[in-house]
């Protein structure tokens, strides 16, 4: 993550959440995502440095940066930041920190972090309120830090049909008055493939599973055909479990 000081965009939905990632329809719609693919034997060291990074931002009260951190079960750490437009990518997100800490100390901190992974990536995702489903009965996502991310990859030739299929799924949820919702994101600049990401929030994986079971009991054979239409268009499907990490996230004081 040392490359942040060079002015390349800093942050992540994510996953998704992704990413704030609270899944409300009044949230920003464009996010940068930075992903570190951390080695399993370096996760403890990585988290210590990530906490040190947050601590230094808090100590120096850096105002022009913020991020929501997530971690997934496969060792990836995501840092998500909302942006207004592509011009925000030109901002040096680490500039204020380097000015306050000094280059030598800041470099030493990032060097410790860089020891923990061999690859990382940056990309943009877009939140789609028109495809997301959040009934009033669902309430807020406060305390619901567990996430289940469903990735539906598709070929560009099927883009229109995939969009229509996702809209039909939302209409089906509305028709059946399903009590638990989901957020939909779409791949953007820097993503190698086209995909929709469906993010589901819960207190833990048990709550998400129980809600899914209730949904299945509500859906009819006709509804299952609506699901199948989307699945049929997908090149492949991936599911990732993760959680929001308040201990690694940073929001400046107002």
Q: Where are the domains of the chain?
A: 2-126, 136-242
Q: Domain 2-126 is in which class? A: alpha beta
Cβ atoms 185, 196 nearer than 8 A: yes
Architecture of domain 136-242: 2-Layer Sandwich (3.30)
Nearest-angstrom CA–CA distance, 13 and 32: 9
Three-class DSSP category at 228: helix
Q: Which residue has the higher pLDDT, 143 or 172?
A: 172
Closest of 199, 121, 196, 198 to residue 155, by C-alpha: 196
pLDDT, averaged across the chain: 88
Three-class DSSP category at 125: strand
Nearest-angstrom CA–CA distance, 68 and 248: 8
Q: Is the pLDDT of residue 246 over 80?
A: yes
Cβ atoms 106, 5 nearer than 8 A: yes
At residue 27 the predicted structure's pLDDT band, cuts being 50, 70 and 90, is low
Task: Work out the average pLDDT over 72-101.
Answer: 89
């Amino acid at each position: 993550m040392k490359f942040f000081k060079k002015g390349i965009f800093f942050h992540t939905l994510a996953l998704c959440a992704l990413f704030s990632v609270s899944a409300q329809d009044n949230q920003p719609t464009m996010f940068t995502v930075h992903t570190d693919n951390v080695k399993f034997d370096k996760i403890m060291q990585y988290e210590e440095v990530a906490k040190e990074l947050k601590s230094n931002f808090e100590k120096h009260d850096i105002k022009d940066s913020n991020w929501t951190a997530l971690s997934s079960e496969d060792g990836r750490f995501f840092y998500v930041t909302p942006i207004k437009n592509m011009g925000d990518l030109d901002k040096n997100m680490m500039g204020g920190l380097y000015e306050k800490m000094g280059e030598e100390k800041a470099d030493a901190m990032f060097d410790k972090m860089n020891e923990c992974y061999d690859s990382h990536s940056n990309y943009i995702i877009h939140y789609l309120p028109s495809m997301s489903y959040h009934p009033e009965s669902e309430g807020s996502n406060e305390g619901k830090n567990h996430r289940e991310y469903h990735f539906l990859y598709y070929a560009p030739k099927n883009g229109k049909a995939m969009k229509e299929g996702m809209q039909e799924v939302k209409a089906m949820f509305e028709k059946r008055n399903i009590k638990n919702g989901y957020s939909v994101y779409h791949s953007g600049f820097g993503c190698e493939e086209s995909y929709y990401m469906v993010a589901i929030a819960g207190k833990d994986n048990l709550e998400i599973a129980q809600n899914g079971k209730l949904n299945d009991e509500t859906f009819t054979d006709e509804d299952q055909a609506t699901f199948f239409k989307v699945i049929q268009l997908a090149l492949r499907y991936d599911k990732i479990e993760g959680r929001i990490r308040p201990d690694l996230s940073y929001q400046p004081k107002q």
